[in-house]
Amino acid sequence: MDLTAIITSLLTLLAGIGVFLIACQMMSSNLEAASSEKLKVLFSKASNSKLMGVGIGALGTAAIQSSGATTVMTIGFVNAGIISLSQAATIIYGANIGTTVTAQIVALGMFGGNSVSTSVIFSAFAGLGAFLSIFAKKSGPKTLGGILAGFGMLFVGLELMSGSMETFAALDGVKTFLAGIGNPVLLVLLGAVFTAIIQSSSVMTSIALAMVVTGLIGIDQGIYLTMGSNIGSCVVAVIAGVTSGTNAKRTALIHLLFNCTGVVIFMLAAMVLSWFDISYGSLFERLFPSAPQVQLAMFHTFFNTATVGIMLPLTGALVGLVSRMIPERTVPKDAEFSLRYVDDNMLRTPPVAVSQVKREILRMADIALENVDRALNMAVQLDFSFKSQFESDERQLNFINRELVGFVVRLSGRSGLGEKDRTYLSGTFRNIRDLERVGDYAENIVEYATVLADTSQQFSDDAKYEISQMKKLLHELYDYTIDAYQNESLASLDKANAIEEEIDDYTRRMEEGHITRMEKGICTPSVGAQYLELSSNAERIADHLINMAKSIKSLKVNLL
C-alpha cells in the first residue's frame, strides 16, 4: 500500500511540475506580447545608474515572470556591446528581486481553510482564460486569455504538487527520512541540483512552499532549499554565457558569484544566530505566525533583497574580479564581422529582440550609405585610398544580410510577439535585402571607376557636378527614409517619395546632359557608357531606399 501511494504521489508531483512549468512559459510568453512596447522602452533606459539597473531588472522580471529570460537577455546585450558589465550586474541584481514575485503569488494561493481556498479560485482562471483565448477574435483579448490561462494553470500545478506532498506527509517513513536531512549545506545543494535539472527556481521554491505547508519539512529546511534554488538558477545563464563572447561569460560568472555570495553570507549569519539558539525559521515564525507559506515567501524576498543591498556597493569590485578571472582574448581574423545589436540569447525575450533587429538594420543602412559615398567619390576623384575599407564594409554587409536573416527567421518562430512585431518582422527580410542590394550597386560604381582609372580616362567637369548633385539627393532621401523607418513617420515617407521622384527626373536629365556632351565631343563613348551605368545604379539605390521607407505602411495599416 505504501509503495502504491509513493508511486502515485511521485507521478502526481511530476504532473504538477509539468503543468507548473507550462503555466510559467504560457504566462511569460503572453506577458511579453502584452507588454512588448513597454519592455522595449524599459530596457532602452539602461544607464550607468546602479539603482536604474536594479529597477529595470526587477520590473522586467516581474513583467515577464522569468528571471532566466531577463538574465539571458542581459547576457545578449553585453555580448552585443549595448550595455557594460556594471550595467549588466545591476540588472541581474534586480532580476533576483523580481523573481520573488512568483513565490509571493504562490503563497497567496495557499490560503483557504474552511472556505473555498484561494488556490481553487485562482485555478478557475485557467478555464476563463482558455475560453477567452479560443473564442476571442482580436489579438489583445487572446493574449489576455493566455495570461489568465497561464495564471490559473500555475495553481492547478500547485494543487497537484501540494496533493502529492500531503500523501508523502501521511507516510511515517518519508517524514522520518526528510526530517533527518537537517544539514543546511546538504539542503542548499539539494535545492541547487534540483533547480539546475528543471531550470526553474520558481518551481523549486513552489515545491518547498508546498512541502512546508503540508508539514513534510520544517520552515528552516524550506529556507535552505530556497537558498539553493538561487544557485541552481544560474545554470541557464552559464549555458548562455559559455556559448558567447568574453563579456557574456563574465556576465554569467557575475550571476553565479552574486548568488553564491548571498548564500554564503546568509549561511555564515545562520551560524552566528545558532549560537543564540535563533534560526531564520524562528524569526519569520514570530513575524508571520500561523502562515508557513508567507514565512517562506517573505524570507525569499528578504534574502534576495538583502543580497542586492550588500552587493550593490561592491559592483565595481565584482566586475574587476570577473574581468581578471576571464581575461580578454585575441579575436581571430575569421571573427572580423559580427552582429552588433542582436544575439541568440535575446530570443528568450522576443519583444526586446525585435527592437534590436531594427537597430541592426539601421546600422546596416549606415554602412551601405557610407559605401555609396566612397563609391561616388572614387568615381569622381579616381582616388582609391579607401577601397580596402569599402571592400571590408561590403563583406560586412553580406555578413549582416546572411546572419540577420537567420536571426529573424528564428525570432519569428518564437511565441510572445505582438501582432505589430510580427508584421514588422515579416517586412524585415525585404529591408535587409534592399540594403544589401544598395551595397551591390555601390560595388558596381567602384567597378566603373576602376575601368576609368585603368584606361586613364575620367568624367567631364559637368558630369562630376551632376554626380555630386545626385549624391546630395541620395543623402536627403536617406535622411527621410531613416526617419520614416525609425519613427514610423508618414510625413517623412511623403518627403522621401517626393525626393525619390526628383531623383528619377534628375537621372533623366543626367542622360540628356550626357547625350549633349557626346554630341559636342566632350565625352567619349567609353566614358559615356560608364556614366550611364553609374546614373542607372544611383537610381536603383534610390529605389531600394524608398522601399525601406514604404515598409512602414504595413505597420500603419495593421494598427488601424
- Mean pLDDT, residues 129-157: 81
So what's the pLDDT on residue 501? Answer: 93
SS3 for 324-357 is HHCCCCCCCHHHCCCCCCCCHHHHHCHHHHHHHH
- Mean pLDDT, residues 250-261: 90
Q: Are 357 and 425 in contact (CB under 8 A)?
A: yes
Q: How far apart are the first and last CA of the chain?
A: 64
Comparing 46 with 466, the larger pLDDT belongs to 466
Collapsed DSSP state (helix, strand, coil) of residue 65: coil
SS3 for 193-236 is HHHHHHCCHHHHHHHHHHHHHCCCCCHHHHHHHHHHHHHHCHHH
Residue whose C-alpha cell is 535545492: 191
> What interhelical angle do 201-213 and 139-169 show, nearest 10?
40
- Mean pLDDT, residues 124-149: 82
For residue 312, the 8-state DSSP code is: G
Collapsed DSSP state (helix, strand, coil) of residue 50: helix
Could you read off the pLDDT of 270-326 as tens digits, one per residue?
999 989 889 999 999 999 888 888 899 899 999 999 999 999 999 989 999 998 988
Collapsed DSSP state (helix, strand, coil) of residue 386: coil
Q: Are 284 and 298 in contact (CB under 8 A)?
A: yes
Could you read off the pLDDT of 424-469 as tens digits, one per residue?
999 899 999 999 999 999 999 999 889 888 888 888 888 888 899 9
pTM of the model: 0.70
d(CA 431, CA 429): 5
Q: What are the chain's domains?
A: 2-325 (no CATH), 346-559 (1.20.58.220)
Top mean pLDDT of 115-124, 185-194, 231-240 is at 185-194
* Closest by CA position to 301, among listed 158, 99, 94: 99
Q: Are 198 and 68 in contact (CB under 8 A)?
A: no
- The residue type of 471 is K
- Number of neighbouring beta carbons within 10 Å of residue 345: 28
- The residue type of 437 is R
d(CA 90, CA 550): 40
Q: Are 186 and 138 in contact (CB under 8 A)?
A: no
User: Can you read off the three cell numbers belonging to residue 495?
Assistant: 518627403
So what's the pLDDT on residue 335? Answer: 47
